Amino acid sequence: MSEKTRAMTNMIKLAIRRLVYKMQCLDGKIRLKIKSRFYKAAFIILLIASLLVEGHSQSLAGGFNPNASNSVYALATQTDGRIIAGGSFAQIVGQPRGGLARLNEDGSLDSSFPNLSIGGMISPAVLAIAIQPDGKIIIAGQFTTVAGQRKNRIARLNIDGTLDIGFNTDTNGTIHALAIQPDGKILLGGAFTEVNGQAKPYIARLNEDGSLDKSFTSNTDGTVYTITVHSDSTIFIGGAFNKVAEQRRSRLARLKPDGSLDVDFNPNADGDVLSIAVQSTGKILVGGNFNLIGGQNKSYLAQLKANGTVDPTFIASPNAMVKTLLTQPDGKLLIGGFFTLVNGQPRRYITRLNPDGTLDSSFPDVNVDGGPFTRISTLALQVDGKIILGGRFTQVSGQPRNNIARLSQDGKLN
């Protein structure tokens, strides 16, 4: 309850007490004697006001507010509505949870999911989460221990959150991206150069059991930050690389389902690509830290046609880096990152766009805040269309929300 609300409530309660002439307890029932009919009416009005103020303060104090103690970098929703959150936090919902937690749909902590104490490094963090069709959970990032067991940058959990001891993959560097193919194979991208002791520069594919898929021979010459698998099993990768499979590909490439390079797709971005989303139309949305892509001046966000050329009808123009993209079922696009303006309008760190890149007028400036390092790093949709956002922030829409929050479909704080 705010100080203003608390003061108002106390004033109303004091007025009610002054109206009551006598209080008796007869036959187990509380009976109030009030000074006059006029005061009776005043009493009723004040009582209703008191209840409304109390209810208002409770609604502000309640809602979805897990309150993570540090950054949230990854989110995933399960089919039952529960939410997996990963990051660099040590606590969430007031309980110890080192880097990983499962939340109930209302934002309360799922106490059945153990504290796995992601660690082993100076700044351990879960950076990517993927949920398999069988419900098992793959986590990756920068860590070397999970639940006290040696797990180098990647681990798989059973549905109940316990370690899957049969999954023993490891890498020699940070994993930034995970994706699961329709056949169940697992793609990983990052800053590593070896997987399971084998040379696999920056991208690799695992079989379902975690063993290395040696048939996947693609590689890059720099960090892979994002991987997206299209419904036709083609693979889009983005990052800080300049070559893929020894061919020139600046920061963005498309691979065939077998991992070989699609030589017909070459948009050539001049800065890092951090997020990719493929629309139902086949067009490709690309977010990152670039100013030029496909030979066109398009800063931080662009839409490409299926052949890799820039779609000139998409007019979105954020003023800073786009870190995360999410396409809604209705075709509208959620974007999050470091920006404070989109299309010249205030849109602080998150907004929603229409399919043509214009601002969705029904989605307000959410007004995320948290100082100079504020950002939205990850987005997720719940089945009911509510939007979960994670990153580094302390306020959303003027209310305290530390590093994780939820919005209703209309963009209002939930």
Structure confidence by residue, pLDDT tens digits, 113-130: 999 999 999 999 999 999
Task: Report the distance separating Cα 29 and Cα 17, nearest Å.
Answer: 18
Structure confidence by residue, pLDDT tens digits, 207-262: 999 999 999 999 999 999 999 999 999 999 999 999 999 999 999 999 999 999 99
pLDDT of res. 25: 36
Structure confidence by residue, pLDDT tens digits, 9-57: 455 455 545 544 444 433 333 344 545 554 555 445 544 444 444 333 3
% pLDDT > 90, the chain: 84
Global pTM value: 0.85
Amino acid identity of 92? Answer: I
Summarize the confidence of residues 70-88 as an average pLDDT: 98
Q: Which residues contact 261 (CB under 8 A, 6 or more apart)?
A: 218, 244, 245, 247, 249, 253, 254, 255
pLDDT of res. 55: 36
Reply yes or no on whether the pLDDT at 3 is more than 80: no
Confidence at 63, pLDDT banded by 50, 70, 90: confident
pLDDT of res. 140: 99
Structure confidence by residue, pLDDT tens digits, 137-162: 999 999 999 999 999 999 999 999 99
Reply yes or no on whether the pLDDT at 349 is more than 90: yes
Reply yes or no on whether the pLDDT at 403 is more than 90: yes
